[in-house]
Amino acid sequence: MKAAVVRELGKPPSYGEFAAPTPGPGDSEISVVAAAVSPLALSRAQGRHYSAETTVPFVAGVDGVGRTPDGALVYFAFVPPPFGAMAEKVAVPTRYIVPLPDDLEPTVAAAAAVPGMSCWIPLTGRARVRPGESVLVNGATGTSGRMAVQVAKHLGAVKVVATGRDKAQLDSLRELGADVLVPLGEPGALRDAVQKEARDSRIGVVLDYLWGPSAETILDALGGPPAPRGSELIRFVQVGTASGATISLPGAKLRSSGVELLGTGLGSTENRDIVAGIGAFLRAFAPARFRIETELHPLSEVEQVWDRLAGSPRVVFTVP
């Protein structure tokens, strides 16, 4: 079969032949229609993600949309290595597929699934938005952050506070539901803005896509004494590390803050529950009028466009 094959870590996948998978007991054979390049898919293909397969060759891609032998459109994830989603065929445990809603285009579903997972699962689970609370999205101008703004508002956040460096992209978040825009840059200004919104907007959840210096500043701003919301915990959910892999966090600051540190991603939730959560998000996508920008390419162009992937709009490879 044709596939995007990683033959050397750190190099773009090449379009070529790869042995087709053989479905085992409990597997579903799927003819792939579309697979997107998320930061997760990109970092795993580079061998840099903590969940990455590093024995080459292997097929790139972590999830996608395809058809079962009876013609039904489904979303699938967790393709067993060395296979991946960017191929003509996959064989996936049936527990890791969910039906695609009739009102959702396959390419849109492929693009939206991972960004949706990053916010839908925490905001409907351990970091559920409570009545009267607001959500702060740190790093809201990327594809996942833009989706988080929409999902937070849809799930009942009174206000959505969005941070970002690109002013034009930050300003565009108002039409997606952001109520307060906070530019990233000067730490003192960020700290003051977060302290004000923690008090005035009753921030209950922080979705952090950046980590690094801005996360340090936000955690410092949420610290005390006194804690901004008394005895109520602010759920700080670590999602991505676009601005740095580590931070400095004094123990005293955490003890005095009333902040609960959480993480969301592969390993923090059972795979079956991740797929179920993505299924719920995809069912909500059209009724909620969520939006995501996509750029479509045939899978045969993977090597030519690989080096400019994982940005916005989200690149989706289509499979004939």
Number of domains in the chain: 2
Could you report the per-residue pLDDT of 43-86, keeping only the tens digit for each? 888 877 676 666 899 999 999 999 999 999 999 999 999 999 99
Q: Is residue 301 part of a domain?
A: yes
**Using an 8 Å Cβ cutoff, are 53 and 78 in contact?**
no
Same domain, yes or no: 93 and 158: no
Could you report the per-residue pLDDT of 266-294, keeping only the tens digit for each? 888 999 999 999 999 999 999 999 999 99
Q: Is residue 190 part of a domain?
A: yes
Residue 110: the pLDDT is 98
Same domain, yes or no: 217 and 241: yes
Average pLDDT, the chain: 92
- Give the Cα separation of 13 and 79 in Å (integer): 17
Residue 310: the pLDDT is 56
Same domain, yes or no: 94 and 172: no
Out of 48-62, 91-105, 206-220, which region has the weakest mean confidence (pLDDT)?
48-62
- Give the Cα separation of 235 and 123 in Å (integer): 10
Q: Is residue 285 part of a domain?
A: no
Residue 55: the pLDDT is 87
Same domain, yes or no: 89 and 147: no
9 CB-near residues (< 8 Å, 6+ apart): 46, 47, 54, 56
Same domain, yes or no: 187 and 217: yes
Q: What average pLDDT score do residues 87-93 get?
A: 98
In whole angstroms, what separates CA 56 from the centre of its chain?
26
Percent of the chain with pLDDT over 70: 94
Residue 226 has pLDDT above 50, yes or no: no
pTM of this structure: 0.94
Same domain, yes or no: 54 and 150: no
**How sure is the predictor about 227, in pLDDT bands with cuts at 50, 70 and 90?**
very low
Residue 108: the pLDDT is 98
Place of tokens 């087709």: 20
Residue 241 has pLDDT above 70, yes or no: yes
Domain span including residue 64: 2-100+292-318
Same domain, yes or no: 254 and 308: no
More confident residue, 209 or 185: 209
Q: Is residue 36 part of a domain?
A: yes
* Dihedral Cα 152, 158, 164, 170, nearest 10 deg: 100
Strand-strand pairing, 58-59 and 2-6: antiparallel
